[in-house]
Structure 1
Amino acid sequence: MQDSRIRTVTPEDGLPAHFRRVVSFHPRGGRLNDVQRRAWTEHAESWYLDPEDYGPENPFDGDRAFGRSAPLVIEIGSGMGESTAAMAVARPDINLMAVEVYKPGVAQTFHHLARAGASNVRVMRGDGVQILTELIAPGSLAEAWLFFPDPWPKTKHLKRRLVTPPFTELVASRLRKGGTFRLATDWAPYAEQMLAVGSTTKGLRNAYPGWAARPDFRPRTRFERRGIAAGREIFDLEFTRR
């Protein structure tokens, strides 16, 4: 369970000092199990992108980071990476940048990528909002994915939800014309918020009259299966950059 307190990320939390700000997640410890430690050792050099390596004098370049030219897609909050690996295999035509704040999640993603044989993914550890703001150039993304973010269901925590007008405006600014913003949640009130916010964001239009179909390339995630088991409906959304 996540710590419910908003706090400032510090170097002691194990995140780069470049990414200090008040955030709605608790940066848990970075202790790795044996599988994760081995995956980190074997693959981090090839698949890990350090946000500290980028800045005004060295802006992020997707083609250079991946070693090939392909549409750039960002997944915010890739978790333990099992679905990330499956989606990368299903979409070999894209360069998929997975952003995850927890080091064990990054390492576990390496493990899943290796098992799936996916080579079109790079993983960056950090705060997705800050990475979008400071590293991703406007109009450079083909797609942005946000699948099953923390719903913060308690009324007193609603302000901590990620999908707000400033966030969707930020995503829209990073998408190229015709680019796609895909979201999914199993929490109905949050789905309604996503729909309302996305539908009123300048530069975005809903690709469907309401809810979208689940993309063929997206497997049923652990959170999705948990929601279905609990009797909750799954809501997908798809917005297009005008």
Structure 2
Amino acid sequence: MSEKYVHISKASSLLGEDAYMLRAWEDEFEKFLTIKRDEKMARIYSPENIEMLRRIKNLKEAGLDKKTITLMLEAQQMVEKNPPQIKNKEETDEIKKSLAKIVEFIDSKEVENLLQLNLRIKKIEMGIKNTILETNKEHELLLKAQTERNQREFKKINEQLQELTVTSKTERKMYQEEISNERQLVKEDIESRERKFLSFVREHQQKQDRFKHRKSGLRFIKNMIGFAK
């Protein structure tokens, strides 16, 4: 076996995943993974296999479903296999470097954090929805408005991210800064709205408690009057 190939135990160690998970991903994403076998019919993984499994792992950990992961992997392969036509070697080298950096950025923690932001938005939505359903139906209108705004904000971030694949090196740096700022604003906005909603729910609950307490006091006074009579 060539030294560049490794068995599943080594691949599992390199990726930090159990061997059964690598086999599951091989079945789930067979379009992107062609795993060879050695003379004993044991799986052997090439560097390209390891890299593809690493991409799949990052996208899985970001909470994406199979369809979305497939679309993203196809888009990455399209960029890698079909670079734009160029006129000279210098331009070729520059474009290859730019594409490599774009692919690296797509696979980076920065993008993973952006994807994790979507998961947090969903968790916040579910938490607020459960609280509101226990108190008052009227709050569902507020929840719907907040959900739509969260989705628009995250859609805007994803659109800016997609534009990175077709921009120059200078433009890509500029978009990275904008995405970082946008991500921070979205994070702060979500945390602020979360605090406001929780405060609103607590205030509503306190009003209900005070109203129940007042009714209980009036009932006691009526009973006392009836007893006196």
TM-score when scaled to structure 1? 0.25
Larger RCO, structures 1/2 (Cα 8 Å, 6+ apart): 1
Q: Is the helix fraction higher in 1 or 2?
A: 2
Compare CA radii of gyration and give the structure with the larger one: 2
Q: Is the strand fraction higher in 1 or 2?
A: 1
TM-score when scaled to structure 2? 0.26
